[in-house]
Chain A
Amino acid sequence: MVEFLQQMVNGLSLGAIYALIALGYTMVYGIILLINFAHGDIMMVGAYVGFFSITMLGSNVFVALLFAMLACAALGVLIEKIAYKPLRNSTRLAALITAIGASLFLEYVTIFFLTPQQRVFPAEAFPMHQYQIMGLYISNKDIFIVVLAVILMIMLQYIVKRTRAGKAMRAVSLDREAAMLMGISVDKTISFTFALGSALAAAAGVLIGLYYGTINPLMGIIPGLKAFVAAVLGGIGIIPGAMVGGFLMGILETMVSGYGSSMYRDAVAFGVLILILLIKPTGIFGRNDSEKV
């Protein structure tokens, strides 16, 4: 039982990170029906910005997070403007292929400038403490990750539900044409969505750096795919769905590597994806809509 709870605890912080990434996928999908393949790589860039602001500017973790989020918000908007906007009216296949292109671009430009080698995330930026509570080992890192993720999610909920920009987002995702007729700037709203999603991904990037202790230019791929699975699990396009899906994925993954083989850790994510797609493609919180003829 303790073993089980321990795995839960371990899964929680990983799940929080997945949830943060999944939110970006889900928001972007909700608004332009695009699987933003480059999202995991934006997270990677965020991790690097955080890394350099700690090692080169000597900033603390919070300042590093802030820098990473700002830089990635700008990067997200830029990618949307350059690569996705020209394709807004073309097929979804074309947009998806472009997104794959954007993903490869970020990965290999980073490799080109920063070499493919792994970098050690400075441990002194966040001194580790391990606590033992009721037989469970919990580190301050885990607590920090979960608390920060939850704070960011609450902020996101506030922005989406209570602000004008958030209302515009919801309006555009429901009906772009109608929103436009109501005087909402669709371009600005889409940019805002990318900025928000990318900022959350950047935060996740810094947290992943803390969690695993190392970063590399291809680090975004696998967590990105898993977070995507989390978004689909919760129901793509649905914000609370992404949060729940993220936590579920994190816990499931630690359970599998804890009880089964860690080699199968990555396969499990895809297995889950395929099962959901076959059983309920709209996800846990999704509604069923059949195609109109």
Chain B
Amino acid sequence: MTILNIQNLSKYFGGLSALADVNLVIASGELVGLIGPNGAGKTTVFNLITGVYQPDQGHIMFDDKPLEGLLPHKICQRGVARTFQNIRLFKDLTVLDNVKIALHKDVSYQLYAAILRLPTFVRGEASIEKEALHYLRIFGLEDKQEEIASSLPYGEQRRLEIARALATRPRLLILDEPAAGMNPQETQDLMELIRWIRKEFDLTILLIEHDMSLVMGVCERIYVLDYGQIIAQGVPEEIRNNPRVIEAYLGEEVS
């Protein structure tokens, strides 16, 4: 069953074409990679899916319903969550509060209950806390729940960002260069984690990555974007031997 269906997607910035006629289809439960040289338009695709930008042409269907025209928070409520290339945590808040904010969209009590401290508020807060801790435990951050997010080491900030995205209970998780800035060991651990998340949460995952070992190692299918166009797609083996891809990456290693 198709979960994400992008048809003829185009986006212009000041007359320059950033994306032209991009088609991308993801089936439910797949783990798909989107690769391409710098400036190819990968993050633009993500920004269009999550509603940061509006497409100039084309459609983005999620569960057979269009996402265009929706505000990002509506898209999140539909079941799409993401992380950012340059980590956007709520820096001055605690690790626990970062995750709790992601749980807000399903808050069980009303505003007046919070102001009057009614029993529904007390129960609601208890369940939010329990659930937030559950996500922190999965990512090994439980001991750091009271720490300020910006004080975490880089790798843990990346993990917290994924935990926060998962807490919105998405069906499609979009990861923007999750391994950026990680050493090979951390990247290895991350690969394990991504595989495990998909299985455990029964998710579909789309990821952008520069680290080829990660993409080739973890993704089942890969799309290659160059100059705003999809130039190839297929299983990792096909992509590795595709002459157009090698050309696009000339000078960069594809292995």
Contact = CB atoms under 8 A, between A and B. Distances in A.
Direct contact of A and B (CB under 8 A): yes
Interface of A: 287, 290, 293
A293 B43 CA distance: 9
Interface in B148-198: none
A282 to B, nearest CB: 13
B109 interface: no
B83 to A, nearest CB: 12
6 contacts: A287-B14, A290-B53, A293-B43, A293-B47, A293-B52, A293-B84
A290 B11 CA distance: 14
Interface string B36-58: 00000001000100001100000
Interface string B61-93: 000000000000000000000001000000000
Nearest to A293: B52
Nearest to B44: A293
A222 B47 CA distance: 42
| Chain B contact patch, size range | under 10
Nearest to B13: A290
Contacts of A290: 53
Contacts of B43: 293
Contacts of A287: 14
A216 B139 CA distance: 64
A287 B15 CA distance: 13
Contacts of B47: 293
Nearest to A287: B14
B196 to A, nearest CB: 28
B220 to A, nearest CB: 27
A287 B84 CA distance: 27
B82 to A, nearest CB: 10
A287 B43 CA distance: 23
Interface in B1-33: 14
A293 B52 CA distance: 8
List the 6 shortest-distance A-B pairs measured between CB atoms, nearest first.
A293-B52, A293-B47, A293-B84, A290-B53, A293-B43, A287-B14
A168 B47 CA distance: 36
A293 B14 CA distance: 17
A292 to B, nearest CB: 9
B128 to A, nearest CB: 27
A293 B44 CA distance: 9
Contacts of B53: 290
Contacts of B14: 287
A290 B47 CA distance: 12
Nearest to B47: A293
Contacts of B84: 293
